[in-house]
Structure 1
């Protein structure tokens, strides 16, 4: 039950039909190739072909950063990773795009809690700032979206992390994998201390199938302390305790890394 289709029209309009900045709504958005950390995929122009020019325009919009240069640079991006322990002598590296501050905090909350589709283009812009993992491609890697519980899915009516992960999958050209489930007996992580978050997530995830590849890219929308990604990483790092089919595999078989839209706050 993953409601992705209703959001495609909004993303299409933001990509191809609206050249204004998705944050200030005043200035023209800037091509992704003109922003740091990204590369243009636009085709060379051909002034003698209407259809080639049209395709150039569409490709340019697809390569758009969706924000103007001023708004892009007003957001503090995070070039460095932070780490959490998942086993003795093993850490999980987590790369976030930015801090969980304005305007990203408000956009994420509106999208998650009020299904505000108008915030999705801004979040898509943030997704595009995450560096593509070196050496990862569709044949050797999968993206593992942070699972939600059935109870929360019924209450919310949609899965925002899966929607964002699907856009990241499209951007990186790396497939999604849904081989992990989240158990319903955990509560929301919001408002909990780090110790409470870790305790709340003990045995919160269970593998339903063996990962098809060795590189697993974990994804969540917000990594406040990294506790959720840490618990998910532990479940994937030790498959022998979760699935009978993986009982003969070494527990360090998989290469894990994690990504998130936002992390903590720069003011803490």
Structure 2
């Protein structure tokens, strides 16, 4: 598999050298702060013009902080404010069962529809590097899980099979998960592999997906921590992440956790896109 350097170079150029929005291609630098000021100018300006009472000062400080955080967030993004606001971010998390009384929460950054759907497909199947900056912007919408940091958590990217890796020549999920790792400042862990006798999940029903993924993953080493953050590019039914999570609650995995002094793994999942708004 080729290294990450070419991807890193392309993203660096898109973020720091190309000041155009990665979606509409209109200049994305100055208009962001202007658009943010237009979103809530009246309340902020009214407070500024109001007598400097204690309440007014508190409200002014609060709103100023909000505007500052939003401006800082968008200025570090790769879309203009208009395109950013045009895409609905952070759908409600959904859950799948991985064991009796144990469920896996899956949080997506956005919906699997235009323009994210086309960008993911182009990147995965054609290695279209021009789509990667938009996907990076989407990844940055995922909030780092509360309490997780580099010393107590690891990111577990959805493994691919060696057959698929040879066919594609690269692993798109590993590229995306490396960006999430960099953004969250949480290391990747690659101690689980995918068995080669499974087929692609695309086009399968939920029952077929679950059957196809029976025993699809195998641990090759013990996780270094009990907080596991699973990551995949797209989740339709959650079957792949469900099967991946189950690999960590198998009898063998449970024994390794007990031996290491942990009571259980704390597993949650994150994806680039899920379902649609309709």
Band of TM-score, shorter chain? 0.7 to 0.9
Q: Which has the higher helix share?
A: 2
What residue in structure 2 maps to residue 154 of structure 1?
A: 166
Deviation at 1:8, TM superposition (A): 1.2
Q: Aligned residue pairs: how many?
A: 245
- Between the aligned partners of 1:84 and 1:19, the Cα distance in structure 2 is 40
Equivalent residue runs for 1:208-219 within 5 Å: 208-219=220-231
The runs of 4+ residues in structure 1 deviating greater than 6 Å are none
- Three-state SS of the structure 2 residue aligned to 1:166 is helix
What residue in structure 2 maps to residue 135 of structure 1?
A: 147
> Does 1:92 pair with 2:121?
no
- Between the aligned partners of 2:170 and 2:213, the Cα distance in structure 1 is 22
> Does 1:26 pair with 2:33?
no
- Between the aligned partners of 2:114 and 2:246, the Cα distance in structure 1 is 31
What residue in structure 2 maps to residue 255 of structure 1?
A: 266
What residue in structure 2 maps to residue 4 of structure 1?
A: 4
- Between the aligned partners of 1:199 and 1:216, the Cα distance in structure 2 is 24
- Three-state SS of the structure 1 residue aligned to 2:247 is helix
**Unmatched 5+ residue regions in structure 1?**
43-59
**Unmatched 5+ residue regions in structure 2?**
40-65
- Between the aligned partners of 2:261 and 2:163, the Cα distance in structure 1 is 33
Contact 1:207 1:243 (8 Å CA) reproduced: no
- Between the aligned partners of 2:213 and 2:93, the Cα distance in structure 1 is 22
Contact 2:106 2:271 (8 Å CA) reproduced: yes
- Three-state SS of the structure 1 residue aligned to 2:136 is helix
> Does 1:196 pair with 2:232?
no
Q: 1:142 to 1:40 in 2, by over 3 A?
A: farther
Deviation at 1:251, TM superposition (A): 9.3
Q: Deviations over 1:223-253 (max 9, x none)?
A: 1111000000111122x33698567469961
> Does 1:265 pair with 2:272?
no
What residue in structure 2 maps to residue 69 of structure 1?
A: 81
- Between the aligned partners of 1:65 and 1:123, the Cα distance in structure 2 is 11
- Three-state SS of the structure 1 residue aligned to 2:222 is coil
- Between the aligned partners of 2:94 and 2:105, the Cα distance in structure 1 is 6
- Between the aligned partners of 2:94 and 2:119, the Cα distance in structure 1 is 23
Deviation at 1:3, TM superposition (A): 2.8
- Three-state SS of the structure 1 residue aligned to 2:105 is strand
Cα RMSD (Å):
2.5
- Between the aligned partners of 1:255 and 1:146, the Cα distance in structure 2 is 17
TM-score by length of 2: 0.82
Q: 1:209 to 1:106 in 2, by over 3 A?
A: same
Q: Deviations over 1:8-34 (max 9, x none)?
A: 111010111011100000131548xx6
- Three-state SS of the structure 2 residue aligned to 1:237 is coil
Contact 1:241 1:247 (8 Å CA) reproduced: no
- Between the aligned partners of 1:196 and 1:86, the Cα distance in structure 2 is 17
